[in-house]
Structure 1
Amino acid sequence: MSIVEKVKVARGDKKAEFVLKNCRIVNVFNSKIERADIAMEDGVIVGVGEYEGIKEVDALDRYVCPGFIDGHVHIESSMLTPPRFAKLVMPKGTTTVIEDPHEIANVCGLDGIDFMLKASEKIPLDVYVMLPSCVPSTEFENSGAVLLAKDLKKMKDRKNILGLGEVMNYPGVISCNKSVYEKLDLMREGIIDGHAPGVMGKRLNAYVTAGVMTDHECTRVEELEEKVSKGMYVHIREGSATRNLKDLIVGVTPENSNRILFCTDDKQPYDIEKEGHINYNVRLAIENGINPIMAIKMATINTAQCYGLKNKGAVAPGYDADLIILNDDLSEISIGEVFKKGQLVAKDGEALFDIETIEDSRVLNTVNIDNIDNITFDIPLKSSIVKVIQLIEHNILTKSVIRKVDVENNNFKYNSKLDILKLAVVERHKGTGNVGLGLVEGYGLKGGAVALTIAHDSHNIIVVGDNDEDMRVAIKELKRVNGGITICADGSVLQTLPLEVGGLMTNSSVEAVGNKVKEMAKIACEKGINPNIDPFLTLAFLALPVIPELKLTDCGLFNVDEFSFIDIEE
């Protein structure tokens, strides 16, 4: 329908294609609740008021708000391909996501990004993409690809590309690294996402001056307040391993709330099923004292305005008809029906659309590792005083701590009375044979090993265990299934979730993945793994050398604050 015909409908001269009647509309512009009908044509809202439609649906005086927008997400972290992900999150009220595909890009390069774009084309969920800025995240590890500015240039004009993904190499930004600035300069016409945990003061001034506009790594109110004061948008993240909302929400005020967004970043399917997606962020914010309309604005119009999505995030003329009907009181955020561009796509927790399975040989068979029996997990020590990665519950930050351990024949010896385990990162992309070794405290595993091909962000194999045999069995199992998550004990595989797409995702159903992860989480609990951490995502982030303080890559133990490798001995 032409714009002229839409204007005639807006004037009330003719019936609308579709009218949602008797709504209590959440107006994100004036923060009021308005009783009115919503008239729609070709998936776009053309009027709010009294309207008649060719098709009419009675909202029964329930609240209607804009569809929720996830401001920063790695779809790969759901372990589902984009079509499966859409079926999982749209019944939760999420109608748009800002996706950074740097997980699959670190494995498969531009082919991985292309896969994510094509896999998102025929689904109702709007997937906007930020081109990954850090493939690899640092020069201190081996990934499956290296993407320079000249590589990103080939994709910058593709449909739904909004800008540059999280610039994790914040030391490179602050120190004016040439390669980093080539990427910043390439994408200056778009949005540049940030990733700057703990960066404040003059270092933050430098980071913002370089063009970075957002950050999702705040863990303290003081950090949120300073970043907002410097003009940044701050995503409050509530994922599986990282749960920052309760700590940060106390810093949100009516004066700064327009610069606050919600994101999940990395959230596993069983957590999405159990808690929700962005609707969970909204509900949790309300439970912690935020006005419901303010919370809804942080999940809708704030994100749309940050990313330049001019026709999203509001129930108003000219905006896409992405709508949520809530079942109960506004503070409950109980999702009833979800409309995408005027079409009913979910009701009472069930997706009402079909999807196609995407097969692409470019993102399969990505575990390239040989001579597993020759891998040694021995950690040579001259003394018993060592540096250990200490986990922080509900966080991907770690601490570097000094501990006394047992030594036998000049090698680390596991002591069941100490919660200190061997940790290894094994390169799996190019067959280099690289193995980084370290020690981790706070994981809690007793009698076995856990291994993943999800190891942010280069996604080598990361394995933790209290004995070498089970660690080796776990690596062999991941090679056998071409990537995934496995738990092993007593020389046998207890359970495995295959992730055949890049070692990160699967085309299996949401139900199959969720059930398998639940089963594995139960096994993890039985094996003593700390119940206050995510047994898999927490492990995955121990390989990310841009999150303080101490991490492990395939090249060795890495001090993030000093941005250099360190020796394990004190």
Structure 2
Amino acid sequence: MNHPTLRQLIDASEGVTKADRVIRGGQLVNVCTGEIYPADVAVTGDRIAATGDVSAYVGPDTEFVDASGKYLTPGLIDGHLHLECSKLSVTMFADAVVRYGTTSVVSGLDQFLVVAGLDGVREALREAEAGPMKIFWGAPFKTPYTLPETTVGFTFGPDEHAETQGWADCFGVWETVAEFVLNRDEKVLRALELAHRNRLPVFGCAPMAAPTTINALSAAGVRLDHESYTAEEALQKLRAGMSLLIRESSVAHFMNENVRTVTEFGAQSRRVGFCTDDMHVADILREGHLDKLVRMAIAAGVRPVEAIQMATLNCAEMYRIDHLVGSLTPGRYADVLIIDSPESFQVEQVFARGKLVARDGRGTEAPHAPERSAALSPAFRVKPLTGESIGVAAEGDEARVLVVEMDRTVPFVRQGVELTLPVVDGTVRADPAQDALYVTVSERYGKNGGGTVTAMINGFGLRSGAIASSAAPDDNNIVCVGADRADMALAVNHLAEQGGGQVVVDGGEIREFLPLPVAGIVADLAPEEMAAAEDRLEAAARALGCALPSAFGYLIFLEITAIPEYAVTDLGVVNYRTQDVVDIVRPAN
């Protein structure tokens, strides 16, 4: 994409170069001042040239857009997003969210990174440049994120930071997990020191953080955080000098809790923004994206203009990208929403980079994904799995076993429960009557032989069959939960053979399968097709007995070690507190 020079920006904003387009007749929501007043918007190329009385900017070829009776706001900014968790490629995800007014996202593209390396990240950024949604990339603080380190396709450390922090596309350090700072991880500290020298902001990830942890992170230069589980925790982070991102995702619902920092505790809203983190496409199409969060904040008692600031300028300022996006002001990208009113915030038209890209909830052009390189089509090197190889070794006829227990409220949070389970032929067996099932993680990269580890899990409720996914942050190894070992082996082997996806197996048959051929984690499917596939997968899982709010929404996060108490990785069951792999078979009394 050709970016305007400084001279061209000045010429456009002085009226020397005439506007390509004028959006006229609307009420402008000025997020810089908090005012709403009549103003037109002149657009030259992909930037805003002027607002207000723009008659001096009109030329013979200027196109006019009528916004009479409507309101104009900046495009919305998602402050923290793993877009790969939607299972849509960059092009298709943009088609899903731009229609609802999201024109910019901040992302580490970390799932592309751990699978396809820097070539995969570059390819995703080029893909975004060609579309209506901008990606402001943060270099992941380190990969893998896990403690202890698990197996990924590409590791990222200080040497990679030395390279990528110099990229024009790099806007900070992404998702710095608190434990690595508290552990004084030498590689992470070097990356943060490099960011400080380069004057790049550091983005945090500190769930359930104690006051001492928050103080340490603030001292380390962590500028913002998106992982507050209570309003009190969120307020403590604000008081310690951080900015706050309120998260409302498909599986983690914290808007109504954390907005209390503003509506009840009286914190200033100007250092508060919004993010979605992880979204299911079906939820986006049913409820909207960031526009939904604006409406939720207003319903909770936030003034409409403040809620719009939280979705635009606030986020831009905390990431230091407000010279590019976040307001309808000269020189910024011409990302303009035409809405019905600030109070109801229904997005009617979306302009991104100066062009009309969506109207009445639909894109103006069908999305077309680019050709994929070999970097985004890596082979799966999983050792073929048999049902007999699934299990946890134990002696006797029964064993006391630490079983990972799902939290039905928040899928990232997993406790542990000890259950007595049968032992047959030296292997702990599942007991669906106690909802004690097998869970496996199969290493996909072939670095450790492509082997599989087994643990036990509670909460999925499967009476038979198995569900599996190769899209599974933070490592994207194949994770599988099941009641039947043969079905689990079929599920894992099928995903490896097909180059990735999500699958439901029962009775030795594939009941549902969603291919994810791009890096084994996303697909070039239209959002409506992906939503239909998600619904079919969830229905098939429910038919096996799963009563969780989202079978696959809970499944894919089992490998995350950064949140209490237990995770399951290709190393085994990891204890968050001790940060090591634990023996789940308890000693006999």
Q: TM-score, normalised by structure 1?
A: 0.94
Structure 1, unaligned runs of 5 or more: none
Aligned residue runs from structure 1 range 59-78, under 5 A: 59-78=67-86
Aligned residue runs from structure 1 range 146-545, under 5 A: 146-168=155-177, 170-188=178-196, 189-253=199-263, 255-309=267-321, 310-327=323-340, 329-353=341-365, 354-373=367-386, 376-382=389-395, 384-409=399-424, 410-430=426-446, 432-532=449-549, 534-545=550-561
Q: 2:569 aligns with which of 530, 533, 553?
A: 553
SS in 1 for 2:488: helix
Per-residue CA distance 1:14-47 (angstroms, 9 max, x = gap) = 9643221111221212322212222222333333
| 1:3–1:146 CA distance, 2 compared to 1 (3 A) | closer
Structure 1 stretch displaced more, 117-126 or 81-90: 117-126
Percent identical pairs in the alignment equals 29
- For residues 373 and 355 of structure 2, what CA distance do their matches in structure 1 show? 29
Task: Find the counterpart in structure 1 of residue 4 from structure 2.
Answer: none
| 1:30–1:123 CA distance, 2 compared to 1 (3 A) | same
Per-residue CA distance 1:494-549 (angstroms, 9 max, x = gap) = 011111111111123323222211211221222221242x2112111111111211
Task: Find the counterpart in structure 2 of residue 25 from structure 1.
Answer: 28
Note if 1:50 corresponds to 2:67. Answer: no
The amino acid across from 1:378 in the alignment is G
Per-residue CA distance 1:37-78 (angstroms, 9 max, x = gap) = 222223333333233443222112112111000111112112
SS in 1 for 2:163: coil
The amino acid across from 1:413 in the alignment is R
Q: Shift of residue 426 of structure 1?
A: 1.2
Q: Shift of residue 375 of structure 1?
A: 6.5
The answer to whether the 8 Å contact 2:412/2:554 transfers is: no
The answer to whether the 8 Å contact 1:434/1:555 transfers is: no
SS in 2 for 1:218: coil
The answer to whether the 8 Å contact 2:438/2:454 transfers is: yes
The answer to whether the 8 Å contact 1:132/1:166 transfers is: yes
- For residues 441 and 47 of structure 1, what CA distance do their matches in structure 2 show? 58
The answer to whether the 8 Å contact 2:471/2:478 transfers is: yes
Note if 1:137 corresponds to 2:150. Answer: no
- For residues 388 and 374 of structure 1, what CA distance do their matches in structure 2 show? 20
Q: How many residue pairs get matched?
A: 564
- For residues 447 and 374 of structure 1, what CA distance do their matches in structure 2 show? 14
- For residues 7 and 333 of structure 1, what CA distance do their matches in structure 2 show? 29
The answer to whether the 8 Å contact 1:123/1:355 transfers is: no
Q: TM-score, normalised by structure 2?
A: 0.91
Note if 1:83 corresponds to 2:91. Answer: yes
SS in 1 for 2:104: strand
The amino acid across from 1:376 in the alignment is S
The answer to whether the 8 Å contact 2:297/2:307 transfers is: yes
Per-residue CA distance 1:282-311 (angstroms, 9 max, x = gap) = 122222222221111111000111111113
The amino acid across from 1:392 in the alignment is D
SS in 1 for 2:238: helix
Aligned residue runs from structure 1 range 99-118, under 5 A: 99-118=107-126
The amino acid across from 1:349 in the alignment is G
- For residues 183 and 474 of structure 1, what CA distance do their matches in structure 2 show? 39
Q: Shift of residue 83 of structure 1?
A: 1.3
The answer to whether the 8 Å contact 2:73/2:328 transfers is: yes
The amino acid across from 1:104 in the alignment is F
The amino acid across from 1:181 in the alignment is L
